[in-house]
Amino acid sequence: MNSIQISRPRYHGSECGCSSGVERNLAKVDVVSSNLITRSIFLSSKTGGHRLETLYRWSKSVDEEDLEEWETRLLIRDVAYSAEKQVKRKRWQLSSFLTSREQADLLRAEFGGGVAEVKPGDWQPSAEAGADSLLKIRDSLLVTESQDEVVLANLQNKYPGRILLSFPPQLAFGTGGHPTTAGCLRFLVDLAKERVGRPWRVLDLGCGSGILAVAAAKLGASEVIAVEIDEMALGYARRNADRHEVGDQIQFIAGDVIPMLESGELGQFDVLAANLFSSLLVELLPSFPAGLAEGGEIVISGFLTSQAREVAEAAKAAGLPLKDFLRRGKWVAGHGRR
């Protein structure tokens, strides 16, 4: 899984039967995004979202310099797609998952490429998907995708001074393996060290799997609130918090965060974290100051280097200039202070 980079998955409710919440929140980036795309449209509305169906995957390989043009063509035709590539390769693979062979064949006729049948057993990850992948954040955190108790016990014994986080691939964004999540975690570790011995409140916007909220709680935050518009992702986040024994330290809220921030109903926070697409960050940033205490700090990511200027300008306009950046490949995380 760590050899794959996923970029700009596109969702359309008419194509995949997703709720608006899924469209808004699963349109985030992670090493498991290709599974999320497939799984989000495997859910059949005929049985309340629990019956798995066979899908048909249209795919086409394109050169990196042609990616923008191909994405534009697909967007004009309102095609839900994902774009992915191997880390050391130059060509990208465009994919779209459809519910009928006829739909997939129409895409092939118009755009070329190929069509393959994808059965539920072909995409569902095992419980130990990514068990060997480890992410070390400073000298504080150790993130693994394994949830095997023996594996976790061995890791804790091997790294006794680190906080162990276990986030397997799920129907919610955030395993820690993607550069955007890793960047946010690194900033959180640094901010937590500055706040040792005093209370600090954290707001996680679009929490997905809950990895940032759980990390903040484990790092010593006195109160954590995690907001997520997608109920399915929120369910996974709650379970992940319980698995890490911090369920009672995190308040999970379903809903749109903008009115919550602007009304002041959540109070003010010392740290506000948001790992979202650049367009969402630009939309949300003007609302951030209302939720930040004086001297409060923001940790944001989910944007590419090519989008960093736009996000930085939006943050500056909101009175939250970004002072520090972490770049991992094409992805950027930023830190700013009110």
Distance CA 75, CA 201 (A): 40
Partners of 226 in the β-ladder: 204, 252
Res 204: pLDDT: 96
pLDDT at 141: 95
Residue 61 contacts by C-beta under 8 Å, 6 or more apart in sequence?
Answer: 91, 92, 93, 94, 113
The answer on pLDDT for 83 being more than 60 is yes
Give backbone dihedrals phi and psi of 34, rounded to 5 degrees, phi first: -65, -35
Lowest mean per-residue pLDDT among 83-97, 141-155, 194-208, 248-262: 83-97
State residue 72's pLDDT score: 85
Which pLDDT value is given to residue 36? 32
Number of residues that make up the chain = 338
Select the more confidently predicted residue: 245 or 90.
Answer: 245
pLDDT for residue 155 is more than 50:
yes
> What's the pLDDT at 176?
58
Domains along the chain with CATH numbers:
4-123 (no CATH), 179-337 (3.40.50.150)
Cα distance between residue 309 and residue 171, in whole Å: 31
Contact 187, 215 (CB under 8 A): no
Average of pLDDT values for 45-72? Answer: 73
**Band of pLDDT at residue 106, cut at 50, 70 and 90:** very high
pLDDT band at 49 (very low <50, low <70, confident <90, very high): very low
Q: What residues have CB less than 8 Å from 134, skipping those under 6 apart?
A: 142, 143, 144, 155
In this predicted model, what pLDDT tens digit does every residue of 246-281 receive, in sequence order?
Answer: 999 999 999 988 899 999 999 999 999 999 888 889
What digits encode the pLDDT tens for the residues 277-318?
888 899 999 999 999 999 999 999 988 888 999 999 999 999
**Contact (CB, 8 A) for 41 and 55:** yes
Give how far Cα 288 sits from Cα of 139, 196, 246, 299, Å: 30, 24, 25, 11
Q: In what order do the strands lie in the sheet with 269-275?
A: 250-254, 223-228, 201-205, 269-275, 292-304, 331-337, 322-328
Residue 8 has pLDDT above 70, yes or no: no
In degrees, rounded to 5, the angle at the alpha carbon of residue 96 between the alpha carbons of residues 93 and 100 is 140
**Alpha helix segments (H runs only) across 195-301:** 211-218, 231-243, 257-263, 278-284
Residue 170: per-residue pLDDT: 57
pLDDT tens across 201-239, in order? 999 999 988 999 999 999 999 999 999 988 888 998 999
pLDDT mean over 144-155: 90
pLDDT for position 313: 96
The answer on pLDDT for 9 being more than 80 is no
pLDDT given for residue 132 in this prediction: 53
What's the pLDDT tens digit per position in 160-192?
A: 999 999 987 654 455 556 788 899 999 999 999
- Output the pLDDT for position 110: 93
- What is the per-residue pLDDT for 193? 96
How do residues 114-147 score in pLDDT, each as one tens digit?
998 877 655 444 444 444 568 899 999 999 988 8
133 DSSP 8-state letter: -
pLDDT on residue 177: 64
